[in-house]
Homo-oligomer: A and B are copies of this chain.
Amino acid sequence: MTGYILGIDGGGTSCRAALADQAGTMLGRGKSGASNILTDPDTALRHITEAARLAFEDAGLTADLGSASAILGLAGNNVGDAVGYVTARLPFKASQIVSDGVIALQGAIGDEDGAIGIVGTGTVYIIRDQGQFKSIAGWGFQVSDLGSGARLGQLALQESLLAFDKIRPMSALTEAILQEFDGNPELIVDFARLAKPGDFGRYTPKVFEFAGRNDETALRILKAGANGVDEALDAVSAVTGAKGKLCLLGGLAPLYPPYLSERHRIRLSEPRADALTGAVELAVKAYAGKAEMRA
């Protein structure tokens, strides 16, 4: 037993684990629940352990967590206290916690310099420049993340109220949204007051759908959103230059390109693998061959 390799990809809704041998060959996978180490570290620990155990089982092996060395890409990793608490309690032989963005970048572009833009409910941009990581945006929908799903959905509700008040023209999009709220603007206000990013984001598919039918309001919202993404990608390019891969990931990645500036669109490439694969790659790099040396 020279030791297994584990890659872990953990976030606010689920935790995925992949077990590999020292050459990086995938042996099995497992999935469990939420693993945000900042908001609930004990639950995160339980779900990380469970996903790892399931990956052993999926590989047809008896779960021997103490024989595995892991790289964990976890949401909430930017707070030192949480990282220390969780790292000390993980059941693996060796563990290293990095950001979920770092494993996503490794999966998408491999070892090269380059950047990813994660455009989902939030937006964040991760750059690797001469081996150094740098992140842009990702501060949340209240004061950041222009063009994110949360912001687009929020704008759709705002446009619906503006149309209700005849400040801007009604369109098919705003009519459809008002109908969802029984034509009652107060219900929109009640909803918006307590809405979390994902709640706003539920209206975002509608924005893309109606924009596809040339709805003026939907196109205006997407123009503003795409401008936010374009500006962030300009800031990315100011660091990377025109070199290196540039990938979009996240739920809006397949939808945004037609609306982005051509200077960015022509640079986009498909991600080569997912974040979990990225975690395994980083774990192989960090641990493979070193197990025997330590023993």
Contact = CB atoms under 8 A, between A and B. Distances in A.
21 contacts: A136-B165, A136-B166, A137-B165, A139-B161, A139-B189, A140-B189, A140-B192, A142-B154, A142-B192, A142-B195, A143-B157, A143-B158, A143-B161, A143-B189, A144-B161, A146-B158, A146-B162, A166-B238, A167-B231, A167-B232, A168-B231
A136 B154 CA distance: 19
A188 interface: yes
A235 interface: yes
A209 interface: no
Nearest to A195: B142
Interface residues of A, number: 28
A165 B195 contact: no
Interface string A235-251: 10010000000000000
A235 B143 contact: no
B158 A144 contact: yes
A251 to B, nearest CB: 22
Interface in A100-156: 136-137, 139-140, 142-144, 146, 154
B139 A143 contact: no
A185 interface: yes
A162 B232 CA distance: 9
Given A136-B165, A144-B189, A167-B232, 4 more contacts: A142-B189, A143-B157, A143-B161, A167-B234
